[in-house]
Structure 1
Amino acid sequence: MSSLQHEVDGQIAEPLATSLDRTGNLVTSIVPPGYERYLRILNPAEFGDGSIVSWSDMVGRNGLEPSPWMQWDELKAHLGTALSPDNAEPGMGDPHPSLVTALIRELRVSEDRHYFASWIGYAKSNSQATIEFSPSGRKMALYSGILVDERGTAVVPVTDAGRVPMYWWPKDLRWCVGQDLYARSLIVGCDLATAGRILAAPDLDSYLIRASDMVPSEDF
């Protein structure tokens, strides 16, 4: 069941959409420029029994050095059958609920409504408002909803298609979470204090990146 509602006013996303780098291959093509810090958060792999494992954990178990821009398919090719017995993989374009819940906690969001966007190809019903985002000028359906309830409990945002949106942000854009269409990771732009909390969180597999970094395609 969706926790979000479709938005009818495309102007809610204009400050974000128009600030993105139109070249489509930089960190600032995914989230806007101007943040103090940028992070990449890796979507964990889920086993058949419901347990999850981080990329960094798998890399460490096998004596490899993690890196901020490591790619799942490269890791899979290197480790082969050492990955997992049931070929568990991180979701593409749909971060795991455990990641989303942990990130909401470290973002310290308010009870205010937040805004969301997701590719219209992922939308189950027709959106009344759409806008083009980088990279590749993809048309996005717009939503709004809460990220915490009145008790302060994290609410995983879910669209009518049952997916976590590709983008989420507060009205003042003090932070922004974004990803590409088939990404196995999230890109976050935020302030220094928020970045410190995210990097220190044991249940978030996160890495510091630069605004000028090129974002490799995760659709191999």
Structure 2
Amino acid sequence: MPPLRHEVDIRPAEAVANLLDPRGDRVTSVIPPGYESYVRILNPIELRDGSTISWTETVSRNGFKPHAWMQWPEFKASNQIDFWREPEMGNPPISLVRHLIEALQPDRSTHYFASWAGYATEIQEPTVEFSPYHREMVLYTGNLVDEDDSPLLPTTATGRVPMYWWPSDLRWLLGHDIYARSLIVGCSEVSAQRILADPNLDAYAVKGSDKVLNEEF
């Protein structure tokens, strides 16, 4: 698909930013409060043969109990899997994005997207500050499905998947930080159950009051 369209009118992004909890260390600092459900989805790990493996499967293989707030340092220290590349930070892989779009079941209307202005060659203005780490975000618009309702990969001109996506009615919203190896979705209970039931998504239910650890190490 063509790159997302840059928007100068940033009021839709301001509306989201104003809903975020300014305390800066809770799920509701990343995704606004008020959703029925919140889900954390972990970016997969790439193995040397080119395949991927989930954090959950890797942790279970090594005799540990997986949990919703697994972090890469503790995971890396305890696992014995010969991985090739660490999970992406701030840029979920295409496979995850496609399955997530299918689970969210977006319509064909225009959606909003926000991406960090600090990425190389990213558009620099106008911007809106998003908590929890006061990132300056640029607003884009585009679609998530085509005329056949097939998933469309949302990317900016830099080729990156934006950090935030949401429909105009905010019935769901997903977001994460530039250093995050996972993303968080706020949505209805029905949508959350679809995400959690998808075997291709390494997902866990979390609470709005849960603390989100800074993944910048």
Alignment partners' CA distance in 2, 1:95 and 1:209: 19
The answer for the alignment partner of 1:24 in structure 2 is 24
Q: Deviations over 1:46-92 (max 9, x none)?
A: 2344321110111111111100001011110112xx12153x21100
Alignment partner of 1:83 is 2:81: yes
Corresponding position: 1:206 with 2:203: yes
> TM-score, structure 1 length as denominator?
0.94
Alpha-carbon separation, structure 2, partners of 1:120 and 1:99: 23
Alignment CA distance shift 1:2-1:47 (3 Å): farther
**TM-score, normalised on structure 2?**
0.95
Q: What is the root-mean-square deviation in Å for CA atoms of aligned residues?
A: 1.4
Q: Deviations over 1:121-172 (max 9, x none)?
A: 1262425531111112211011111111111111111111111100000000
The one of 92, 117, 132 aligned to 2:89: 92
Aligned pair 1:62/2:62, yes or no? yes
Q: Does 1:169 align with 2:159?
A: no
Distance 1:83 1:73 in 2: 14
Q: Is the 8 A contact 1:2 1:161 kept in 2?
A: no
Distance across 2 between alignment mates of 1:177 and 1:123: 23
SS at match of 1:75: helix
Between the two proteins, the alignment pairs up a number of residues equal to 217
Aligned-partner Cα distance in 2 for 1:92–1:26: 19
Question: For structure 1, which runs of at least 5 residues remain unmatched after alignment?
Answer: none
Q: Report Cα offsets for 1:164-188 as digits up to 9, x if no partner.
A: 1000000000000000120000000
For 1:158 and 1:45, the matched residues in 2 are separated by: 21
Measure the CA separation in 1 of the matches of 2:115 and 2:6.
11
From 170, 193, 197, give the equivalent of 2:194: 197
Verify the 8 A CA contact 2:48 2:82 in the aligned structure 1.
Answer: no
Q: Which runs of 5+ in 2 are unaligned?
A: none
For residues 171 and 124 of structure 1, the distance between their equivalents in structure 2, rounded to whole angstroms, comes to 27
Distance in structure 2 (CA, Å) of the matches to 1:158 and 1:115: 12
Partner of 2:72: 72
Determine helix, strand or coil for the equivalent of 1:57.
helix
Within 5 Å, give how 1:119-134 maps onto structure 2.
119-122=116-119, 124-134=121-131
Corresponding residue number in structure 2 for 1:114: 111
Q: Which letter maps to 1:143?
A: Y
Distance 2:130 2:83 in 1: 38
CA shift in 2, pair 1:85/1:179, >3 Å: closer
Q: Distance in 2 between matches of 1:147 and 1:128?
A: 24
% identical equivalent positions: 54
- Once residues 119 and 178 of structure 2 are traced to their aligned partners in structure 1, the CA distance between those partners, rounded to angstroms, is 9
